[in-house]
Amino acid sequence: MPNLTEALATMEYGPSPESPGPALDWLKRAPFGHFIGGKFTRPADLFDAINPAAGAVLAQVSQGSVKDVNRAVTAARKAAKGWAKTPGADRARALYALARRMQKHARLFAVLETLNNGKPIRESRDIDVPLAIRHFYHHAGWAALVEDEFPGLHPHGVCGQIIPWNFPLLMLAWKVAPALAAGNTVVLKPAEYTPLTALLFADICAQVLPPGVVNIVTGDGATGAALVDHGDVDKIAFTGSTEVGRAIRGATAGSGKALTLELGGKSPFIVMADADLEAAVEGVVDAIWFNQGEVCCAGSRVLVQAAVAERFIARLKDRMARLRLGDPMDKGVDIGALVHPVQAARVGSILDQAVEQGAELHLAGTAVGNFCPPGLLTGLGTSNIGWSDEIFGPVAAVMSFRTPAEAVELANATRYGLAASIWSESATVAMDLAAQVKAGVVWINGTNLFDANAPFGGMRESGFGREGGRAGMLAYLAAPAPSGKERKALAAPAPLPGDEGAGGIDRTRKLYVGGKQARPDGGYSFAAPGGAAPLGNRKDIRNAVEAAAKAGGWTGLSGHARAQVLWFLAENLTARARDFAALVGEKEVAAAIDRALYWAGWTDKLEGRAADTVSGHLTLALNEPFGVMGVICPDEAPLLGFLSTVLPAIAFGNRVVAVPSQSAPNAALEMVQVLETSDVPAGVVNIVTGAQAELAAVLAAHDDAAALWVFADPATCAAAERAAAGNLKPVWAEVRARDWAGAEGRAGAFRANAVQVKTVWLPYGA
Ligand code: NAI
């Protein structure tokens, strides 16, 4: 008989399968129709939902047609008014009831999720389902608080929500719970591979919610596209690939639909030499190997400091060889099946290409069918597909670096900006890196931590908008349309005639770029009041963005230091009041001076939040400036509109390329002297006058301008949104005139849109 040590060395895990029984019983109701207006429709145009681990068909569900989407939107619209008017306390009760019932059926949800998705039961049972339930509890709370906590805001109306297959129930919860809490109704389209837990959720909705408040239409991308294109949907919320996110940005441009996008990522996982290496190895296990790597925020680019790289890689290889790949219904299994043969083929193809491009692939086993063993890619360069592209499989790419500065540079050398994981025993070093990494979520000495109260979402091509917590609620609330009711959309300003043939034109005014007066590349227009105005073009915008990009020192200043500059600006504007009055009238000048004081006052007061999430974790929701912002200033208020938009943007640390009023650009150009006497550093405010529609599109398409505000006519707003589909920058576009002199001109939206939330998680414990 072996002694204990020998037995431990050879002991194999016995199987420990979870029973699929209750889920299979529930599936006997298949085939499924859609859930519309509180009832399931007759199944039609069926397709298979499979179990990717067994390769078997689990059930058939319906492919949603344009007609189905129409019916669902109609049902949601019919329910919208009543649900929005339902007292917050009653909406809270309904969300609470959803949470309770999900909890009651938690096991059924977990088993069904694992059967349909292929992820280990341990993941769905211990992580996905509890987090989804937590999300409904948390948002039951918001439903009760929304009226007091978000005064003046209202629900969008009907929200179209499209979700992916990697966290089917959790993504549903992230979308549905805040929408309902805020008083919206919903049409949700689950991913075609994983519709089943959404249909189980529909069962619960039927018991708890008024008909039409939640509608679920199953189907593929065509069904999703029909929802995006529907004219009576007020907001689209999408999680999925960057490619489809781009298509949705393009399709919704100019439609007036609100939009949030949570897209792909290729998140850095930075290991400093002083990190707890054992913990960091387990971090990689959590970040990339569990859940088969099918996680948008997976820390799939592992950057390890050279001094410990060899040791760390050896430990990773050792660890991955001991992970258990197999039947996801087995409670002892670490890695299950990829979601679908299509996805397995995609992962295989990316790995092949990575190897062809020179990477070394270390797999802890052989890929068979939908099962892919955990792996590492080493010896690759930054242009290797394994380093640059989302693999969405359980394979991490590893690279070493020497200095923290190099780590930041490598971390940020990507078009994505979803998440980052930083490992160091020095809080000083970790926070320094966290501040510099371009990512919406940063985990220090941890990874893949989520909570309903922690905002989640990306920067750059990882999308915009946040899910979770206060920031997530804001994404489901709309501000009243400027100046209320009947005010019509703005008319486009008259085109600016060029100066051909206009002899004797005064060419003294210049653009303001990088702290210098610049001759406009596009010549002059003689039509502006107050003398000829320069016509900036694409090249001038490019120069201005470059100048703004160089003025990063402004962003690093304290709020107090920036406030000094804004106070001084208000003072200098006051001294020049008479000159400006000649251009725009005394009233506008007086309001502009007040506005400058107002933003000087705000500059050092924009607070972030310490969110209550998981015990033993400090979770900070920080407000971070975008960096370089474009601002298309309102045409109708040449001075006041310019200052009401440019000042909040720079107050919180952005540098701006502003395109002032097209009809009356000279008031903004007069501001150049005030900016200079006020010590606004070169490049912080750049002014390019000219045709707003054209310049808006150029700014929208420019990769180095991270956000854009457009206060203009519908065509200009639409052109900007369309042009932003390439780089997916957030565009705040408003087609109606604000009452710039009143409260609307200094609304909270200027603060909210001047920054993006970065959530930093810092676990503690001696
Ligand atoms: P996808 O972006 O095509 O699918 C996501 C959802 O969008 C699904 O519900 C799909 O039916 C829907 N959809 C597809 N085309 C649409 C359209 N034109 N209009 C509206 N809705 C549309 O993602 P897919 O093809 O399932 O996965 C491909 C890759 O995308 C993955 O390998 C991964 O790299 C990435 N991905 C990223 C996710 C994330 O969480 N960021 C989630 C899923 C996939």
The answer to whether residues 423 and 268 touch, using CB atoms and an 8 Å cutoff, is no
Q: Is 236 in the pocket of ligand 1 (CB under 6 A)?
A: no
The answer to whether residues 705 and 699 touch, using CB atoms and an 8 Å cutoff, is yes
Residue 487 has pLDDT above 70, yes or no: no
Whole-number Å distance, alpha carbon 244 to ligand 1 midpoint, is: 6
Q: Tell me the CA end-to-end span of the chain in Å, nearest whole number.
A: 43
Please state, for a pLDDT cut of 90, what percent of the chain lies above it. 91
Which helix or strand (DSSP H or E) is residue 60 part of? strand 56-62
The answer to whether residues 614 and 446 touch, using CB atoms and an 8 Å cutoff, is no
Give residue-wise pLDDT tens across range 401-448: 999 999 999 999 999 999 999 999 999 999 999 999 999 999 999 999
Residue 484 has pLDDT above 60, yes or no: no
Task: Say whether 409 is catalytic.
Answer: no
| Averaged pLDDT, 551-580 | 97
96 vs 14: which has the higher pLDDT: 96
Residue 508 has pLDDT above 90, yes or no: no
- Please, how many CA atoms are within 13 Å of residue 736, restricted to the half-sphere of its CB? 14
Round to whole Å and give the CA distance between 452 and 150. 18
In the chain, the amino acid numbered 382 is T
The answer to whether residues 305 and 400 touch, using CB atoms and an 8 Å cutoff, is yes
Which helix or strand (DSSP H or E) is residue 52 part of? none
Residue entry with tokens 């810092």? 762
Which helix or strand (DSSP H or E) is residue 93 part of? helix 88-104
Q: Is 239 in the pocket of ligand 1 (CB under 6 A)?
A: yes
- The domain limits of the chain are 17-263, 268-457, 507-564+624-756
Q: Is 291 in the pocket of ligand 1 (CB under 6 A)?
A: no
2-16, 155-169, 735-749: which is most confident: 155-169
pLDDT at residue 11, as a whole number: 67
110, 132, 98: which is closest to 451 by C-alpha? 132
Give residue-wise pLDDT tens across range 357-379: 999 999 999 999 999 999 999 99
Instruction: Give the nearest ligand 1 atom to 265 CA.
Output: 41
Q: Is 757 in the pocket of ligand 1 (CB under 6 A)?
A: no
Residue 211 has pLDDT above 80, yes or no: yes
Whole-number Å distance, alpha carbon 514 to ligand 1 midpoint, is: 41
* CA nearest ligand 1 atom 26, residue: 164
Q: Is 228 in the pocket of ligand 1 (CB under 6 A)?
A: yes
pLDDT at residue 6, as a whole number: 73
| Averaged pLDDT, 518-544 | 86
H helix runs in 161-271, sequence order: 168-182, 196-208, 221-229, 242-252
Q: Which of 244, 291, 414, 456 to mutate to test the pocket of ligand 1 (most atoms within 8 A of CB)?
A: 244
Q: 238 - beta bridge partners?
A: 162, 261
> 507-564+624-756: same fold as 17-263?
yes
The answer to whether residues 15 and 331 touch, using CB atoms and an 8 Å cutoff, is no
Round to whole Å and give the CA distance between 336 and 250. 36
In the chain, the amino acid numbered 72 is A
pLDDT tier at 5 (50, 70, 90 boundaries)? confident
Maximum Cα–Cα distance across the chain: 107
Q: Is 244 in the pocket of ligand 1 (CB under 6 A)?
A: yes
Whole-number Å distance, alpha carbon 238 to ligand 1 midpoint, is: 9
Q: Which two tokens stand for residue 650?
A: 């720079």
In the chain, the amino acid numbered 190 is P
Residue entry with tokens 């009233």? 587
Distances (CA, A) of 543 to 514, 628, 668: 8, 13, 18
Whole-number Å distance, alpha carbon 753 to ligand 1 midpoint, is: 27
The answer to whether residues 109 and 197 touch, using CB atoms and an 8 Å cutoff, is yes
pLDDT at residue 584, as a whole number: 95
Q: Which CATH superfamily is domain 507-564+624-756 in?
A: Aldehyde Dehydrogenase; Chain A, domain 1 (3.40.605.10)
Which helix or strand (DSSP H or E) is residue 454 part of? none
pLDDT at residue 155, as a whole number: 98
* CA nearest ligand 1 atom 8, residue: 191
Whole-number Å distance, alpha carbon 161 to ligand 1 midpoint, is: 12
Lowest mean pLDDT among 176-185, 493-502, 580-589: 493-502
- For the chain, count helices (H), then strands (E): 28, 31
Q: Which two tokens stand for residue 13?
A: 């895990």
Round to whole Å and give the CA distance between 372 and 552. 44
Q: How far is CA 666 from the centre of its chain?
A: 37
* CATH 3.40.309.10 assigned to 268-457: yes
In the chain, the amino acid numbered 118 is G
The pTM of the full predicted model, rounded to 2 decimals, is 0.96
Q: Which CATH superfamily is domain 17-263 in?
A: Aldehyde Dehydrogenase; Chain A, domain 1 (3.40.605.10)
pLDDT tier at 498 (50, 70, 90 boundaries)? confident
Round to whole Å and give the CA distance between 272 and 259. 37
Residue 1 has pLDDT above 70, yes or no: no
Give residue-wise pLDDT tens across range 682-735: 999 999 999 999 999 999 999 999 999 999 999 999 999 999 999 999 999 999
DSSP string, 117-144: H---HHHIIIIIHHHHHHHHHHHHHHHH
Residue entry with tokens 């992230």? 174
Total residue count of the chain as it appears in this document: 766
Q: φ, ψ for residue 181 (rounded to 5)?
A: -60, -40
DSSP string, 672-684: HHHHHHTTPPTTS
Whole-number Å distance, alpha carbon 400 to ligand 1 midpoint, is: 31
- Cβ neighbours, 10 Å, residue 736: 16
Given the DSSP bridges, would you call strands 46-51 and 56-62 parallel, antiparallel or unpaired? antiparallel
pLDDT at residue 505, as a whole number: 67
Q: Which two tokens stand for residue 394?
A: 């359980």
Round to whole Å and give the CA distance between 175 and 132. 10
The answer to whether residues 685 and 709 touch, using CB atoms and an 8 Å cutoff, is no
| Averaged pLDDT, 266-287 | 97
Burial class (CB in 10 A: 0-12, 13-18, 19+), 504: exposed
pLDDT tier at 524 (50, 70, 90 boundaries)? confident
The answer to whether residues 209 and 94 touch, using CB atoms and an 8 Å cutoff, is yes
83 vs 487: which has the higher pLDDT: 83
- Cβ neighbours, 10 Å, residue 40: 17
Residue entry with tokens 């790289």? 309
Which helix or strand (DSSP H or E) is residue 203 part of? helix 196-208
Round to whole Å and give the CA distance between 343 and 348. 9
In the chain, the amino acid numbered 574 is T
3 vs 18: which has the higher pLDDT: 18
| Averaged pLDDT, 673-689 | 97
Residue 657 has pLDDT above 80, yes or no: yes
Task: Say whether 262 is catalytic.
Answer: yes
The answer to whether residues 698 and 621 touch, using CB atoms and an 8 Å cutoff, is no
* CA nearest ligand 1 atom 10, residue: 221
Distances (CA, A) of 356 to 142, 191, 351, 375, 721: 51, 32, 9, 16, 38
Give residue-wise pLDDT tens across range 597-638: 999 999 999 999 999 999 999 999 999 999 999 999 999 999
Residue 496 has pLDDT above 90, yes or no: no
Looking at every residue in the chain, the average pLDDT score rounds to 95
pLDDT at residue 550, as a whole number: 98
Which helix or strand (DSSP H or E) is residue 114 part of? helix 106-117
Three-state secondary structure readout of 501-536: CCCCCCCCCCEEECCEEECCCCCEECCCCCCCEECC
Residue 494 has pLDDT above 90, yes or no: no
* CA nearest ligand 1 atom 6, residue: 164
The answer to whether residues 320 and 374 touch, using CB atoms and an 8 Å cutoff, is yes
